[in-house]
Structure 1
């Protein structure tokens, strides 16, 4: 199975593509994925709903369900019928999850939640009819437009939040909020779909253990950790990922393996939004960052509060409401000393400053004397390079590092005596701190898969967050079987940069094949024969007996003639033969009613 967007091989039961992030589940995306017809399932569904609905065509399919467009015969309206394929009905968990989706959505009567029209009590198939939304999913919109403006995002987000808040008030957590489950019609009206893995608070899980459920790209940290009890804050985090994606056109966290994405959700900060989308109001950036807080208590009180803050910041550049934390107790304030005592403190301070100045002057004279010693050996080239790369004890950066490592009120005096050999030892490079200094920039490198090699300016590195000095830098990512990725960037002091390393698989070399051999390899175009017999009889196509059936759906070669033989199994009826020649790609329905024998 390959991804429809980037053709990357993906597991058969995958709900998303690890390479490009495309949703490949197809549970609710109407018309999002390339359609693979299933004439047999369509015929069984048509027989199941006969008299109530007329099945027209396939809308979408995925690993869990198939959606068909149908027409309600009684109300004369179009509906979407979601059906569980028969091959998946052997697992009781999937059946119960499918039923729960219908029951959950049916209990939530809200204008932004897809309504359920019909749930059958019994039958050979598990299906339900719901509203057919003439429009496209938010995933389709982002696939086409990549990113949205802040104003347009502010019209979508509150509608989704309103639907989720209504579900939360009824103690239901969606747990799979993502663009593929948000439908938008031609008027801009938003409908939330796919409550297949929604869970009522306090309800027993359908899985044997509290396993991770959801789409990893949009899962909250507590959802990634498999916590038993989730709140509406989990859906708020997923909505925050959607908001981040709508504004930047990128997912905050990506990776090839699920464990990589989960690790980033739990521990890594997202790349700065204002770096990916310069010009966004800072208030809007802070709102999204708060919605993506790792701790649920640090997010907004509800999804509607998050959406309201988002809309306000997008419309007026408002500042995000700060995170309310318990204030620290005030420090006791010492009483002011008497006047005479203050005079003593002032004199002592001036005396201390004078002493420090005298010591500094002695150290400066001592350094000059040490350097002018005639028998001092000339430093090697390695020592000179180390001296250029390492700040001397008298430089500003060295003093800053020394003060950072010690309490503010403590001053370390210089050594009383030192030899030229000790002066040479100070030229050895000391380990640099990992924190960002005012002279450095930070680079967030995303999308690096396991087994890839990252080099910065020709030097191999192991971290995905790199500290850069101001200037020009070259970053490369290589991996066997993938095309190398390289980028050249300029960094200024204090910059926060983000780059996505996108490496496409290298296609294998093509082998020249003669044109005659290609023609022989191309199978003839197929057609579909749908044969309905009354009363049931044995059906044979081109002398191949398919046994006694009432309806038979079979694929045959298009453009060729095929012999259909109907052999009665009941006495009093005569055999009937007919020939059909379907055009390539056509579906031909043949209805045969047996007549009595003379």
Structure 2
């Protein structure tokens, strides 16, 4: 975080910010340094010393790997098993109420039970001495975010392989009731063999528990990758992870994010209401089946996406079809048979020995690929609702810059990674979601006709409808009576916007205002 007089600068996008800002209004990054975890070295050193006292005799904490708004990750040495581990420490200001700690433990231990070759395992979950922390396998490799930061066009083979392995890992978790909730390139790591390794499984939900919020009272995720239903604070299942992974795929193919904006509010609004920009307009010669798979997985309506991650994995790489194991079927460790047309299971995705047998290539490495012809998959875009939000921060593992997934030579150990600050995950406070299935089908005749008003503004302001405070933007489909209503948007230091509108029955009226500075 840079400072110049009374000014601050976002480390992620370098946008100048007013002094004392907690979040970047442009990219949503947490610029606080992590709540009570100060961004200065003394604060980090103090946390490291406290952690060392708690794990004395079990682990030797060696150095900071990375930090962000929702915690820090330290490299440590397991004294008993003589191996390196990563210890993720959540913010010290997380509540230590006995019931909240119990919920945190339950959610974290559920995630820790995942056993899959594409998931970084959690070895230990602890709440001790005022700290909540996870002990995880240490991956010395790089992340997909590092690869994308190189701005090199990725081959289709590379994209298929990464999406396929990540989808299989997510499918394994979904079968066991674990939803990731924060799928993004920074959480997709590569080990020294180039194998995909997903991290931070279940930590978002465990963090909700530790923060004392209910499932509908707090949203934790990354705006650029957040599914519409997640953004509105509704019920989230594995299809939200599918949407997020599809956004990752879109960025891998085109080199761009599908939705951008100058604020978190704008980005989430676009996820809800705007159609996905066409992949073919961004990059030529992309196989149609791959574009259609990404488009379907990014449908606004969860019911229009693939039913499972295994179906999505098959759609992005038809030569390696995957099916979810049947209930009670034990498939761990099963390898694919030599024939590529046979079906694999999600429980052993990285043990595939059939074509292609090469590890994930380096970014931009050309790998010959046969032309594929596949039946098109339908793409349906629905519309969902966004609820009022705020922003906070969360953590992904620190990563090393400028290192794409390496070829499987073990002779070149990776250089020690610098301290990294992860900025792109936000914590969103949400009001209770609106009445469900309002748009699903024609409901029975209501006693009285009703209208709806949607309001957004830049910069974000407080909305009043007929003098009634309905909260900060975005205000989405606020129910009102049919007829004339007055909208007022206020923000200190800016001129108030006022408009009188006519609201018809069952046809939402949408308004977006640009607030002008006073003076």
The whole-number CA distance in structure 2 between the counterparts of 1:273 and 1:69 is 40
TM-score normalized by the length of structure 1: 0.48
Q: Deviations over 1:244-291 (max 9, x none)?
A: 011111110111222222221122112111111122122222221111
Number of the residue aligned with 2:222: 215
**2:13 corresponds to 1:6:** yes
Number of the residue aligned with 2:297: 291
The whole-number CA distance in structure 1 between the counterparts of 2:66 and 2:32 is 10
Which residue of the other structure, out of 159, 180, 183, is the alignment partner of 1:177? 183
Number of the residue aligned with 2:373: 318
Number of the residue aligned with 1:55: 61
Mark the CA change 1:89 to 1:296 in structure 2 (over 3 Å): closer, same or farther: closer
The whole-number CA distance in structure 1 between the counterparts of 2:41 and 2:190 is 21
Number of the residue aligned with 1:65: 71
1:199 shift after superposition: 7.7
1:176 shift after superposition: 1.2
The whole-number CA distance in structure 2 between the counterparts of 1:255 and 1:271 is 14
Report if the CA contact (8 A) 2:64-2:75 is conserved.
yes
Report if the CA contact (8 A) 2:28-2:264 is conserved.
no
Report if the CA contact (8 A) 1:106-1:115 is conserved.
yes
1:191 shift after superposition: 1.4
1:33-112, aligned counterparts within 5 Å?
38-89=44-95, 99=105, 102-112=108-118
1:129 shift after superposition: 1.3
| Larger Cα-atom Rg | 1
The whole-number CA distance in structure 2 between the counterparts of 1:277 and 1:25 is 38
1:23 shift after superposition: 9.0
**2:307 corresponds to 1:301:** yes
Q: Which moved more, 1:233-242 or 1:93-102?
A: 93-102
Number of the residue aligned with 1:157: 163
Number of the residue aligned with 1:188: 194
Number of the residue aligned with 2:239: 233
Report if the CA contact (8 A) 1:117-1:131 is conserved.
yes
Report if the CA contact (8 A) 1:97-1:197 is conserved.
no
Report if the CA contact (8 A) 1:105-1:114 is conserved.
no
Number of the residue aligned with 1:484: none
Q: Secondary structure at 2:221's aligned position in 1?
A: coil
1:77 shift after superposition: 0.7
Structure 1: segments with no counterpart, 5+ residues: 28-32, 326-448, 452-598
1:218-367, aligned counterparts within 5 Å?
218-227=225-234, 229-312=235-318, 316-323=371-378
1:198 shift after superposition: 3.6
The whole-number CA distance in structure 1 between the counterparts of 2:374 and 2:40 is 43
**2:252 corresponds to 1:197:** no
The whole-number CA distance in structure 2 between the counterparts of 1:321 and 1:36 is 57
Report if the CA contact (8 A) 2:297-2:306 is conserved.
yes
1:497-512, aligned counterparts within 5 Å?
none
TM-score normalized by the length of structure 2: 0.54
**2:194 corresponds to 1:139:** no
RMSD (Å) for aligned C-alpha atoms: 3.5
1:481-520, aligned counterparts within 5 Å?
none
1:80 shift after superposition: 0.6
Q: Secondary structure at 1:119's aligned position in 2?
A: strand
Structure 2: segments with no counterpart, 5+ residues: 2-8, 320-368, 381-456, 460-519
| Matched positions, count | 317
The whole-number CA distance in structure 2 between the counterparts of 1:9 and 1:42 is 31
**2:133 corresponds to 1:127:** yes
1:91 shift after superposition: 8.0
Number of the residue aligned with 2:337: none
1:57 shift after superposition: 0.6
Report if the CA contact (8 A) 1:13-1:63 is conserved.
no
Q: Which moved more, 1:238-247 or 1:282-291?
A: 282-291
Which residue of the other structure, out of 124, 133, 140, is the alignment partner of 1:118? 124
Mark the CA change 1:35 to 1:280 in structure 2 (over 3 Å): closer, same or farther: farther
1:81 shift after superposition: 1.0
1:94 shift after superposition: 8.2
